[in-house]
């Protein structure tokens, strides 16, 4: 490309908020706090689901997998961000950058699929309560989850291979919190049209499809809630579904902002802030959103906390 340094890039210099070096230590403390809360909340959710038999239901089966994916999702990005903030930059090989991009894409896709599956699960529970046990069987749950993992792996592999067949030249600095697609495309040189089309097609297949499933599921749920005679039943059902919608709105809203829009002329600073929301904040908030609005989880927490006292008295 004319006017572009033709030096081939074999490694990347990852920086975070390079224009604000004085933010380093405060941001380190914030990211570390968010990461510890993410680990504590999601690990706690998994332990509660395993220990309390009242939570051995399809909804919590899917929620347990969402918590596991959120732990891996956050761990793919945040520890490296902490290192970058401390050292004011980290050099990544092309292979390491590709590995992080693959893992991020895999776990982000899994989050999309699991949120869609959970919306379908709530739809069946609210609209077909008498047939719920017959429809969402243990076999059906495993088929849905294994299918989500397989689809996530396939789409992540294809997107990663496609992205890293691009040629990168000139400046090798990525002023972003991890090796993501928008900053990588800015470093590409030569004809990248085919790769961009393939990457965008897969993004369109994953996000809008999951969003459509969620919207259709909740449209049926709203209709079912309106038709309920008991006001208590309406309130309980709406409370359970509202927590799911809050998680969906935060996660998909930020992803749509990043990937399903024209990046030309957009602020890199805004992109970095939004990326923090879907990579750091969303995995941290998910266990809080589900536990604070859910009586079963609150009961399991109280039961777990009361056990040491009971054993100590005996």
CA–CA separation, 147 and 198 (whole Å): 22
CA–CA separation, 110 and 252 (whole Å): 13
User: Where is pLDDT greater, at 127 or 313?
Assistant: 127
Q: What is the mean pLDDT of residues 241-254?
A: 78
Task: Name the average pLDDT for the chain.
Answer: 80
Residue 67 pLDDT more than 50?
Answer: yes
pLDDT, residue 90, reads: 81
Assigned token pair, 146: 């294994």
| Residue 238 neighbours by CB distance under 10 Å | 15
Quickly list DSSP for 260-311.
SS--TT--HHHHHHHHHIIIIIHHHHHHHHHHHT-HHHHHHHHHHHHHHHHH
CA–CA separation, 90 and 93 (whole Å): 10
pLDDT, residue 236, reads: 67
pTM, rounded to two decimals:
0.84
Contact 153, 206 (CB under 8 A): no
CA–CA separation, 296 and 293 (whole Å): 9
For 33-51, the pLDDT digits (tens) are 999 999 998 998 898 888 8
For 269-288, the pLDDT digits (tens) are 677 777 777 788 888 888 88
- Which fold, 11-260+274-283? Rhopdopsin 7-helix transmembrane proteins (1.20.1070)
Q: What is the mean pLDDT of residues 113-124?
A: 91
Quickly list DSSP for 155-221.
HHHHHHHHHTTSEEBS--EEESSS--HHHHHHHEES--HHHHHHHHHHHHHHHHHHHHHHHHHHHHH
User: Where is pLDDT greater, at 62 or 262?
Assistant: 62
For 158-193, the pLDDT digits (tens) are 888 888 887 777 777 777 778 887 778 777 776 667
Residue 135 pLDDT more than 80?
Answer: yes
Q: Taking the domains of the chain in order of start, what are their residue ranges?
A: 11-260+274-283
Contact 298, 42 (CB under 8 A): no
3-state secondary structure of 20: coil
């Amino acid at each position: 490309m004319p006017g572009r340094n033709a030096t081939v890039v074999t490694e990347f210099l990852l920086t975070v908020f390079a224009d604000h070096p004085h933010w380093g230590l405060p941001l380190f403390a914030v990211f570390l706090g968010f990461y510890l809360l993410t680990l504590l909340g999601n690990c706690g959710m998994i332990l509660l689901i395993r220990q309390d038999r009242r939570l051995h239901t399809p909804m919590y089966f899917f929620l347990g997998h969402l918590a596991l994916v959120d732990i891996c999702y956050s761990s793919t990005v945040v520890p490296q961000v902490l290192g970058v903030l401390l050292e004011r930059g980290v050099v990544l090989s092309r292979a390491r950058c590709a590995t992080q991009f693959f893992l991020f894409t895999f776990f982000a896709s899994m989050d999309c699929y699991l949120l869609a599956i959970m919306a379908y699960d709530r739809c069946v529970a609210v609209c077909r309560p008498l047939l719920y046990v017959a429809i969402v069987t243990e076999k059906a749950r495993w088929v849905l989850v294994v299918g989500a993992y397989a689809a996530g792996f396939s789409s992540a592999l294809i997107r990663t291979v496609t992205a890293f067949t691009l040629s990168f030249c000139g400046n090798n600095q990525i002023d972003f919190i991890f090796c993501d697609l928008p900053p990588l495309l800015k470093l590409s040189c030569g004809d990248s049209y085919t790769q961009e089309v393939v990457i965008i097609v897969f993004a369109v297949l994953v996000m809008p499809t999951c969003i459509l499933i969620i919207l259709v599921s909740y449209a049926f749920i709203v209709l079912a809630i309106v038709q309920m005679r008991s006001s208590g039943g309406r309130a309980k059902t709406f409370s359970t579904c509202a927590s799911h919608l809050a998680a969906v709105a935060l996660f998909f809203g930020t992803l749509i902002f990043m990937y399903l829009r024209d990046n030309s002329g957009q602020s890199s600073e805004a992109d970095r802030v939004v990326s923090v929301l879907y990579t750091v904040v969303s995995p941290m908030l998910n266990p809080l959103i589900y536990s604070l609005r859910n009586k079963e989880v609150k009961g399991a927490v109280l039961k777990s906390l009361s056990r040491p006292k009971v054993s100590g008295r005996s």
